[in-house]
C-alpha cells in the first residue's frame, strides 16, 4: 500500500482568544510542535482587555492575526474560518493544548477515509478537579455509547444511520479543541450561529450530523483546561436553559429536519423550557415561569409541566405554603 504523504494536506488551526493571555503561549506552542508540519495558525483576538496583544508579539510572524471588538466565540471562529486557507479546519480553544501527534493522526484518518467529514479525539484534563482524567473514559463516557466500528489501529467510525437523531437523544458531543472538519463540510452547513453565546458548538455538531459521517481517534491527544471561572459560569441554570432553548429554536433555520428529527428536537426543547420554567418558579418569577411552561406544553405535553403551569396562577402565599408542606412531607 502506498504511504500517505501527510504534508500535502494543509490544516488551518483556528484559535479564538478572549482574555486568555496567560494560556495562549502554551496553546500556540503545542501547535508549533506538531509532527504534521503543513498548517497555518489563525488567532482571532476577540476584543481582549488583558495582555493578549503583548503575549502574541513573539508569534506574529508565525500566525495569521485578526483583531477586533468582542463579539463572542461564534463570531471569532467564523472570522478565523473566513481568513483560513486549509483543506481541514481544526479548532483550538486558547486555554487548551495539543499533543504533538494530534494533527498527524487526524489527517491520516481523513486521507485514508475520504467519505468522513468530521473527526474528533479523546482528551485529558488540565486543572485541579479532574487533573489527568481521560475524558471519554472517566467523564464523557456517553460519547462511547454511540454505535461504532473500528476502521484503523486507533480510529473508529460512528455507524448510526441516523446520527442526528442519536445526537439529539444522547446529547453527548465532543468539544471544539478535539475536532477537525473538512472545509467543504463547513461550507455546506454554514458558520457558527453568532446569536448564541454558549452551546454554539453543540448546534454545529447537530448540523454536521445531518449530512456527514463522524469518526474518532481513541487517543487522548488534547488537554482541556478546567477553570474555576468557566465552571461558575456554566452553573447558571437560567442562562444555560435559555440559550439551549434558543439553539434548538434556531436549528431548523440552518438545516431541514425530518418528522422524526423534529419530534425528538421538540421533546428536548420542551425539557429545556420546563427547566427554565422551574428555575423561574423556584425564584418566584411566576409570569416568566408561566411563559416557559406554556411553551414546554406546546412542544411536548407532560403532567409535571402542566402541574407547575397551573401553580403559576396561585397566589404567592399559597405557593409558599405548598412548598413548606412538601418539605415537611419529604422523607
Name the residue among 39, 15, 38, 9 with its Cα closest to residue 28: 15
How many other β-carbons are positioned within 10 Å of the β-carbon of residue 149?
9
Between the alpha carbon of residue 71 and those of residues 47, 67, 75, 141, 285, the distances in Å are: 8, 11, 6, 33, 30
Verify that 212 and 263 share a domain, yes or no: no
The owner of cell 489527517 is 107
In angstroms, the CA 308 to CA 108 distance is 53
pLDDT at 5: 39
* Residue 136 DSSP class: I
| Assigned domain for 111 exists | yes
Q: How many domains does the chain have?
A: 2
- What is the extent of the structural domain holding 117? 6-234
* Angle, in degrees to the nearest 10, between helices 163-170 and 259-282: 20
- pLDDT over threshold 50, residue 1: no
| Assigned domain for 1 exists | no
Among the candidates 209, 234, 259, a domain finishes at 234
Name the residue among 70, 59, 14, 11 with its Cα closest to residue 35: 11
Mean model confidence pLDDT for the chain: 90
| Assigned domain for 265 exists | yes
Q: Which of 97-101, 112-116, 124-128 has the lowest mean pLDDT?
A: 124-128
| Assigned domain for 138 exists | yes
pLDDT band, residue 145 (cuts 50/70/90): confident
Verify that 113 and 215 share a domain, yes or no: yes
Verify that 267 and 213 share a domain, yes or no: no
Residues sharing a CB contact under 8 Å with residue 125, sequence separation 6 or more, in sequence order = 131, 132, 133, 135, 139, 223, 224, 225, 226
Verify that 290 and 192 share a domain, yes or no: no
Residues sharing a CB contact under 8 Å with residue 196, sequence separation 6 or more, in sequence order = 72, 74, 203, 243, 246, 247, 250
- From the number of C-beta atoms within 10 Å of its C-beta (0-12, 13-18, 19+), residue 219 rates as middle
In angstroms, the CA 13 to CA 59 distance is 14
pLDDT band, residue 329 (cuts 50/70/90): confident
pLDDT at 128: 61
- pLDDT over threshold 60, residue 3: no
| Assigned domain for 118 exists | yes
Burial per residue of 105-142, b for 16 or more beta-carbon CB atoms within 10 angstroms, e otherwise:
bbbbbbeebeebbbbbbbbbbbbeeeeebbbbeebbee
Give the dihedral sign, CA 241/247/252/255.
Answer: negative
Verify that 211 and 302 share a domain, yes or no: no
Among the candidates 234, 269, 295, a domain finishes at 234
- pLDDT over threshold 70, residue 233: no
- pLDDT over threshold 70, residue 4: no
- From the number of C-beta atoms within 10 Å of its C-beta (0-12, 13-18, 19+), residue 60 rates as exposed
- pLDDT over threshold 90, residue 59: yes
Verify that 264 and 167 share a domain, yes or no: no
Q: Please give the average per-residue pLDDT across 170-185, as a whole number.
A: 94
Strand 155-158 with 148-150, pairing = antiparallel
- Which residues are 223's β-sheet partners? 97, 124
The larger pLDDT score, comparing residue 83 to residue 284, is at 83
| Assigned domain for 195 exists | yes
Among the candidates 234, 262, 295, a domain finishes at 234
Q: Where are the beta strands (DSSP E) in 179-327?
A: 179-182, 213-225
pLDDT tens for each residue of 93-110: 999 999 999 999 999 999
pLDDT band, residue 328 (cuts 50/70/90): confident
- Confirm whether pTM is higher than 0.75: yes
pLDDT at 143: 78
Amino acid at each position: 500500500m502506498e504511504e500517505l504523504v501527510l504534508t500535502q494536506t494543509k490544516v488551518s488551526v483556528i484559535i479564538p482568544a478572549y482574555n486568555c493571555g496567560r494560556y495562549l503561549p502554551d496553546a500556540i506552542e503545542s501547535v508549533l510542535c506538531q509532527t504534521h508540519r503543513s498548517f497555518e495558525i489563525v488567532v482571532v483576538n476577540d476584543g481582549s482587555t488583558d495582555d493578549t496583544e503583548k503575549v502574541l508579539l513573539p508569534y506574529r510572524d508565525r500566525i495569521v492575526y485578526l483583531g477586533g471588538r468582542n463579539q463572542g466565540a461564534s463570531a471569532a471562529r467564523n472570522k478565523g474560518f473566513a481568513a483560513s486557507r486549509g483543506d481541514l479546519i481544526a479548532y483550538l480553544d486558547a486555554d487548551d493544548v495539543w499533543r504533538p501527534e494530534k494533527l498527524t493522526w487526524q489527517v491520516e484518518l481523513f486521507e485514508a477515509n475520504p467519505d468522513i467529514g468530521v473527526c474528533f479525539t479523546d482528551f485529558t484534563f488540565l486543572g485541579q478537579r479532574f487533573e489527568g482524567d481521560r475524558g471519554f473514559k472517566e467523564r464523557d463516557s456517553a460519547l462511547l455509547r454511540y454505535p461504532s466500528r473500528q476502521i484503523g489501529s486507533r480510529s473508529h467510525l460512528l455507524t448510526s444511520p441516523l446520527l442526528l437523531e442519536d445526537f439529539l437523544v444522547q446529547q453527548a458531543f465532543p468539544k471544539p479543541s478535539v475536532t477537525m472538519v473538512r472545509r467543504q463540510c463547513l461550507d455546506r452547513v454554514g458558520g457558527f450561529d453568532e446569536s448564541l453565546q454558549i452551546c454554539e458548538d453543540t448546534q454545529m455538531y447537530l448540523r454536521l450530523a445531518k449530512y456527514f459521517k463522524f469518526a474518532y481517534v481513541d487517543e487522548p491527544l488534547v488537554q482541556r483546561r478546567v477553570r474555576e471561572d468557566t465552571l461558575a459560569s456554566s452553573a447558571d441554570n437560567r442562562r444555560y436553559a435559555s440559550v439551549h432553548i434558543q439553539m434548538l429554536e434556531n436549528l431548523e433555520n440552518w438545516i431541514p429536519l425530518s418528522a422524526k428529527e423534529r419530534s425528538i428536537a421538540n421533546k428536548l426543547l420542551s425539557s429545556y423550557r420546563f427547566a427554565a420554567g422551574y428555575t423561574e418558579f423556584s425564584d418566584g418569577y411566576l409570569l416568566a415561569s408561566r411563559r416557559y411552561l406554556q411553551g414546554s406544553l406546546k412542544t411536548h405535553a407532560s403532567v409535571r409541566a402542566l402541574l407547575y403551569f397551573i401553580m403559576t396562577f396561585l397566589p404567592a402565599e399559597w405557593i409558599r405554603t405548598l412548598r413548606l408542606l412538601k418539605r415537611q412531607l419529604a422523607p
